[in-house]
Amino acid sequence: MFERDYLLSILMKYAELLVRSWTRSKDKDDPLGSAAMLETAIGEATDIDGDALLSLAPESMAGVMQVSGVDSRVSEYIGRSLALSAQYFEDAGDADRAQLRRDQAFALSRAYGFDLPDSAEQIVEEAQSALEQAEE
């Protein structure tokens, strides 16, 4: 019971972070700051050094997370964060880092067996919906 409540708390915080990063990116025109928010959260969610994890090749990242025992539900939010971060880097003109984050997101989706939404907007809409459902 405690573990389930703890995991639910983490997932809701992650959904809130996705929405908040989107708002920051759009309202403050700060895609790099938004990407930094998400990347910091990835390190915290995995208990793995975030900079080291994010520097790995896509399949290596997925492998390290699996060996480290990252919960599949948390990995899905990490994948969504990576996909959203890719959009932020694209918006900031950093095509190389955008592609790396996109590739990492897809590697996680393959490794953990989840689908990624088709667009950044859809990621945020689904996170917002999860928050609304949690409030009910």
pLDDT tens readout for residues 15-61? 788 888 888 888 888 999 999 999 998 888 888 888 999 999 999 99
Contacts of 132-135 with CB under 8 Å at 24 or more apart are 134/8, 134/12, 134/15
pLDDT of 2 strictly over 80: no
Q: What is the pLDDT of residue 109?
A: 96
As given in the structure block, the two tokens for residue 101 are 């984050």
CB–CB of 123/25 below 8 Å? no
Looking at per-residue pLDDT, the higher value among 131 and 2 belongs to 131
What pLDDT is attached to residue 4? 60
For residue 18, the one-letter residue type is L
**Residue 3 confidence (pLDDT) above 80:** no
Alpha-carbon span 136 to 128, nearest angstrom:
13
pLDDT at position 97: 97
CA dist 50 and 47 (Å) reads 8
The mean per-residue pLDDT over the stretch 121-129 comes to 88
CB 59 within 8 A of CB 119: no
**For residue 6, is it left (φ>0), alpha (ψ between -120 and 50) or beta?**
alpha
The pTM (predicted TM-score) of the whole model is 0.88
Kindly report, residue by residue over 69-101, the tens digit of the pLDDT: 988 888 998 999 999 999 999 999 999 999 999
**What is the per-residue pLDDT for 55?**
95
Task: Assess whether pLDDT exceeds 60 at residue 1.
Answer: no
Instruction: Assess contact for 130 and 15: CB atoms under 8 A.
Output: yes
